[in-house]
Structure 1
């Protein structure tokens, strides 16, 4: 068939777009998005916060028709549009639709079409501006196949491997970085980093490891122990399958089993605490003493932590060690954007290396259901994918810039076999998997999947089966908007079918665990962010009339599901805001609360209150443990911004979990302003201790496994350090209540100096030992940006972790090692370099 040119088609077909025209327009339409102002002086309709943006559309050839529409993701709802020829409507969630007005007669190659619009709230990091705009005909009919507009697709930078967004104009001003007139967020360029970061002083790694052991003593006289000789492993170690992952780690580093190597034995001492161990290394023998297999496993991992890739010689020494926190976790969101099974397995391996022991696996949310459940195939057939299907019978809506491809890496799910493989591998690495299928909010994937199931069986005339697990109530006229702007993402908590569904899912989960000998110990129900649902639900109105004392449908749901879970022998976990809707007397005795209230907004009081109930409090503090936030406040740094603008390794390392309000002395708010933390009310009871801490990687803006690794490493190592080891410089919880702020001076100058000295040890270990190990395993860690300044006409530059080469771009555009540049005025930009790739460059002045 002859293919006509774009311009010919548009001249001959003035009214309707056929498939060829849609294909050509998708290939040629240039879309340029500009964030004009993130803090306008005033907002339309008198909103308190908004931002102004512009889309400019251009074509290389005239396109004389208007039968098309463009769907795109904008995280916050667009509510005011200024355009001669186009309107924008909010569909659901982040999905919006651009539609030509009636007077629009088509694109003119000589004229750019402008669409200015205001969006609610704020959006300021480049990664928040989603790709993959979708072009189809105006009514999105199925006879025209939708296409992704090519100019809105992302690319990869050849040097850094980082994602580029050619459709998004550069961010150059503070009005694109700050969200209000009160916002003092700094632009973290090279000179700012030079003035604020700690410059490394160590030129080689110290005798230590990550996480730091409780006690390490080098024998006197010290003798070198060459672990390259291998280990002559005693049978009680060699035949112990529970230790096989640790031996595999040692072997990968070059410390192999060898009958003529250093004699290595295990002593079981049940008087030691759980997970505790001692490690005694001499040229003649290595003795690990532990109370159980987990302690022995960590003893072996500490041997691996002592060595470098290029140096397997360690001094003779003894370590006595035990974890500070029982719960040392990582939360991975695989629901918003999917993560491959290989990524999960690799992450489990790294968790074990740094003695993390809980994987909180977030398997379902509005944008995806990622675990196959027997007898409910719709959960993954529909809920496991996003594509362009406005009926949502084939897949979910293309939220978060998903595009149209069901086979994309952001789509997918774990089969029963996949999940069980993850369970077994986690157990082998002494890690508990805590599954989470978020309910009752954040449940849109489940709701739409069960809607599809309902339609299937109602079409077959089987009403009972159609309604068996139906999560919707057709006569519920409640109008609400969730925190992510959905109007249909919440289970109806008043329907018996909702609880049949939940029991079905939990029973299948328990069975999956039992089949591979890994008990389901804890199940996380989520239970957060259920804004305004059920107000007009007939079922809920009936329930309310039956229980007039009912004050919270969300609390009712959590209490009821918690009892179901408890009766199955499983511990219930949930986010602390949802648990705040419950009555503690109606909850099980054993409850895990993930405290994610913001410290900068007084959240320590809510965390203290729930910890005082006797619940296991796991600290999930967004300002320090949400690794989907940027490392630095700079537009090019990937991440969200609602709780913190910068979370680097030093901030994580400096976390003092025992005394949450004391962080008012060393942190600032998300707008970089001082705050007070009042600890005179709702104090932590004297006998109460937190269960542990957890890192989090939410995935709304993370579209690949590499991006996920970039956000995790190396700051996950700092979280592991704080989870395992309590440093002497950390502030304990104060005996008396007080108000903390930048002037309270509880964190003394001496303690700050001790922290800096401890950081030097940690940074040297990361830079000289752990980064090379991560690189050797193919981990796409973040190469740090360079702190730089011209001093006395010369460039002085460093990275927070030593061991990286530093290059500078000359005025001629050539990258050179900095020691080859004579004068500072020759330099344009700086960047760090590893053996494999380069990091993000920074202009010397910006």
Structure 2
């Protein structure tokens, strides 16, 4: 009896004692977490239209009855129902959730898994959407939180790609398709064989990317640049072409008195675009004439494009060239997950090589503020980092699986000098930087940071100063949820301090441009709002009666502020849909991002007809945070499209947006219709340009960012600079569908020939150049099947790669003598780079 009482007292006392740090550390090292996506299209709980079903298995190798631990983890969509009675799951904010033992928790038994099943809103179907770095803490948050080791990311030693050991394999179509009507194929090797075009060329043709307006080989002779160049400048400064000359020097084309004459002259040609140029390569010398220094710069880039990367011989040619679009942009999201300064500089260099000229830098969002602003240190000291600090005194919440390491690559910011350096480097490469600090929605980093400022100054007794830039309205009782499920991420557009803060930020950004000697030409205000915000804000009552849209009021007011500073205003098209056009400046840039498969051409045409500067930004083809192919292991989002491969980007016809209904499908792999009868473009109206986008919610490293950009960015550059003859001309008032057949067989054949030219230059010439510069581009997938003779056939959609197959005997070079049934997996490789392994037993 005494022994029994001792045991009972021991159990009671042990349960009463909370975890100590050593216990928490041990648990974080040894707790095994396994996440399984059971079904992407589940039968949902009542009142939920779409959801997916998942299971978390938690296993400890030792017994633990303690209940004082909690786990925090990122789940992009809110969990709406859980079925395990031993745990409670709570949505904190954004994507952050908490798992805690319930009153019914019976403890861990060594080696036995606790399984939690739960339903989550909407859908997740690519492995990159399932976030890492689960955090273990004690319930009172008295101990130092630790990342659960089993949820850390790894890297495949062969491919260099990210690995997620906490995530069980995806093997079925039920994990890929988001609804009963979803027909999205699992794009494995056999699918690619049946739906891809085999490269025909075995070497690079005489051409460059992007394709010039006109190029003529004038002889079969070549000019040898290995002896250097002798530069002669007429009416142009050396500084304006210095970046191109430096690029030439990196491959061994240096300036020497005995070198080949390189004559560059500015000569205005009436009626030609500013960036127009001619390039003539002869035995006597190389002659460039251009309208502007930018044109001369691009002529030198074309000269570099003529090099094959193996020698310094250049064919004798004559090129006459000018861009199709004035605006040829790339958007980089450095806010969600930070991109290093070096990545930005490297990207600028590559953009310039392929004649892109606008860099839209997304510098602030809910998950991070990335630009140092003089006088507002908290913006970057707090807003530049995510870590485990639930009170957000020193950092933002650890959204997007950020973990607890402030030194992680997802954290950081650009100092004022960093930004000045970026501006000057971009200007040297003839690229205009368009900064964006998203408001009034997507502003949580700013709001939290200014609360930290408020607390600091209040503690010092500086109450008036503390209020000056405070972005919280304590009287606003509105309950809302943003698209990313935040309940506190929207600036109150009725508060005077909101506009004081924006004015302070604008002055800070414009000041940095002045210091750099690079004018701020365009500022992107974002213009996203959160539906339902401000409805119960006392200070908004009057404005709500006066204005139909408070978001419209905000955009109009901020646009006026930007214009008064001598800067063009830019915004996303959905926000601009709320404004009264007559209250807007005449010089407005609209990034139109409506999905083409859902009538996205309508808004584009409407904004073009307003004579706004429309930058085509349709996510179906310009969002490079979507996967190359529909496969769970291909990184990316999925809401607008399931696959954006290099060919799709190449096939884009941005002058005729509705026409894509003939050749593309929607996100559920269905044909769709684009009706342009009521939304036609006015005569002579067209877009100012097009922009590619790299959003970063699922891109945690610069290496991953390069993988997502290249080689798609080269196809994008092709479309931004060159309008092909096969592109279907816009005709007002048409209805396009899979059966309309405006894009006829002749155009299809011409497009195929142009594609073969492009991929040959890409595969044999440009990708090897990028490889020499250390760019981690995507190795193409492999297509495999049987030819007409029943022989096993392999190819990669982009040529120049070796192919390996895996049989029961291991990996070996591919050859047609191996029966298809014996092949377990395939992969492509080049040099020391190996692509993703593709299993043959795809569903």
Q: TM-score, normalised by structure 1?
A: 0.97
Q: Secondary structure at the match of 1:360?
A: strand
Partner residue, 1:227: 225
Q: Determine if contact 1:808/1:818 at 8 Å carries over to the other structure.
A: yes
C-alpha separation in 1, matches of 2:126 and 2:733: 38
The 5 Å alignment of 1:681-700 reads 681-700=678-697
* Conservation of the 8 A alpha-carbon contact between 2:494 and 2:543: yes
SS at match of 1:375: coil
CA contact (8 A) 2:439 2:529 kept: no
The residue number in structure 2 matching 1:48 is 49
Distance 2:761 2:593 in 1: 30
| Contact 1:253–1:304 (Cα < 8 Å) also in 2 | no
| Paired position in structure 2 for 1:146 | 145
Higher deviation after alignment, 814-823 or 411-420: 814-823
Distance 1:811 1:632 in 2: 27
1:501 to partner: Cα distance: 0.4
Matched, 1:555 2:552: yes
- Asked if the contact 1:10–1:62 (Cα under 8 Å) also holds between the matched residues in 2, the reply is no
Equivalences for 1:98-497 in 2 at 5 Å? 98-139=99-140, 142-219=141-218, 221-236=219-234, 240-271=238-269, 272-497=272-497
SS of residue matched to 1:70: strand
SS of alignment partner, residue 559 of structure 1: helix
Given that 1:37 and 1:175 are in contact with CA atoms closer than 8 Å, whether structure 2 keeps it comes out as yes
Deviation readout 1:364-407 (Å, 9 max, x if unpaired):
00000000001100000110000000001110000000000111
- Are the aligned partners of 2:490 and 2:529 in contact in 1 as well (CA < 8 Å)? no
Q: Secondary structure at the match of 1:234?
A: strand
Aligned to 1:23: 25
- CA change 1:11–1:224 in 2 (3 A) is farther
Residues paired across the two proteins, number: 830
Query: Deviation at 1:820?
Result: 8.8
Matched, 1:36 2:38: yes
Q: Distance in 1 between matches of 2:681 and 2:830?
A: 45
User: Which deviates more from structure 2 when the two are superposed, residues 415-424 or residues 801-810?
Assistant: 801-810
Do the aligned residues in 2 keep the contact of 1:596 with 1:620 (CA within 8 Å)? yes
d(CA) in 2 for partners of 1:666, 1:297:
36
Residues 534-683 of structure 1 aligned to structure 2 (within 5 Å): 534-544=534-544, 548-683=545-680
- Superposed CA deviations along residues 708-738 of structure 1, whole A, max 9, x for unmatched, are 000000000000000000000001111x411
Matches of 1:755 and 1:232, distance apart in 2? 40
The Cα shift of 1:311 comes to 2.8
Report if the CA contact (8 A) 1:789-1:844 is conserved.
no
Q: Distance in 1 between matches of 2:712 and 2:571?
A: 25
Determine if contact 2:527/2:576 at 8 Å carries over to the other structure. Answer: yes
Mapped contact 1:9–1:21 kept (Cα < 8 A)? no
Q: Structure 1 residues 816-825 or 584-593, which shifts more?
A: 816-825
Cα deviations by residue, 1:3-54 (Å, 9 ceiling, x for unpaired)? xxxxx999956641111111000000000000001112x2102311000000
Stretches of structure 1 lacking an aligned partner (at least 5 in a row): 1-7
Deviation at 1:549, TM superposition (A): 3.3
Distance 1:718 1:349 in 2: 17
**Cα pair 1:331 1:695 within 8 Å, conserved:** yes
- For the 8 Å contact 2:233–2:265, the answer to whether it is kept is no
1:841 aligns with 2:837: yes
Alpha-carbon distance, 1:307 to partner: 0.9
Deviation at 1:77, TM superposition (A): 0.2
Question: In structure 2, what is the Cα distance between the partners aligned to 1:836 and 1:425?
Answer: 31
- Distance across 1 between alignment mates of 2:103 and 2:778: 49
Native 8 Å contact 2:125 2:175 kept in 1: yes
Measured in 1, the distance between the counterparts of 2:237 and 2:508 equals: 33
Q: Output one character per residue of 1:798-840: Cα deviation in whole Å (capped at 9) or x when no partner.
A: 111110011111212x211113964444321110001122000
Are the equivalent residues in 2 in contact too, given 1:237–1:265 (CA < 8 A)? no
Name the structure 1 match of 2:502.
Answer: 502
Give the SS at the match of 1:87. Answer: strand
Task: Please state how far the C-alpha of 1:133 moved relative to its aligned partner.
Answer: 0.3
Q: Which segment is superposed worse, 526-535 or 383-392?
A: 526-535
Report 1:64-79 matches (<5 A).
64-79=65-80
Residue 89 (structure 1) aligned with residue 90 (structure 2): yes
Q: CA contact under 8 A between 1:209 and 1:302: conserved in structure 2?
A: yes
The whole-number CA distance in structure 2 between the counterparts of 1:452 and 1:110 is: 44
Cα offsets for 1:635-656 (capped at 9, x unmatched) = 0000000000000000000000
Deviation, 1:458, is 1.7
1:829 to 812, 825, 830: 825
Distance 1:646 1:393 in 2: 41
3-state DSSP class of the match of 2:781? coil
SS at 1:439 equivalent = strand
Post-superposition shift, 1:682? 1.7
The runs of 5 or more residues in structure 2 that have no matched partner are: 1-9
- In the other structure, the counterpart of 2:751 is 755
> Secondary structure of 2:90's partner?
strand
Summarize deviations over 1:429-470 as a string: whole Å, max 9, x none.
000000000000000000000111111112222221111001
Which secondary structure does the structure 1 equivalent of 2:834 belong to?
coil
Deviation per residue, 1:555-586 (Å, 9 max, x gap): 00000000000000000000000000001100
Offset at residue 543 of structure 1 (A):
3.0
Asked whether the equivalents of residues 236 and 293 of structure 2 are also in contact (C-alpha less than 8 Å), the reply is no
Give 1:239 shift: 5.7
C-alpha distance in structure 1 between counterparts of 2:129 and 2:237, whole Å: 50
Q: Any idea what SS the aligned residue of 1:430 has?
A: coil
1:226·1:283 contact (CA, 8 Å) conserved in 2?
no
Per mean C-alpha deviation after superposition, the further-off stretch among 605-614 and 102-111 is: 102-111
Q: In structure 2, what is the Cα distance between the partners aligned to 1:817 and 1:258?
A: 46
Distance 1:673 1:506, change over 3 A: same
2:234, 2:266 within 8 Å by CA — same for their partners in 1?
Answer: no
8 A contact 1:795–1:818 mirrored in 2: no
| Equivalent-residue separation in structure 1 for 2:677 and 2:235 (angstroms) | 52
SS for the counterpart of 2:220 is: coil
Q: Deviations over 1:120-143 (max 9, x none)?
A: 01111100000000000113xx43
Secondary structure at the residue paired with 2:653? coil
Distance 1:81 1:798 in 2: 46
Specify the alignment match of 2:5 in structure 1.
none
* CA displacement, residues 607-656 of structure 1 (integer Å, 9 cap, x when unaligned): 11111111000000100000000000000000000000000000000000
In structure 2, relative to structure 1, the CA distance for the partners of 1:138 and 1:784 (3 Å cut) is same
Distance 1:822 1:386 in 2: 52
Inter-partner Cα distance in structure 1 for 2:410 and 2:65 = 35
In 1: Cα distance, 2:817 partner to 2:101 partner: 55
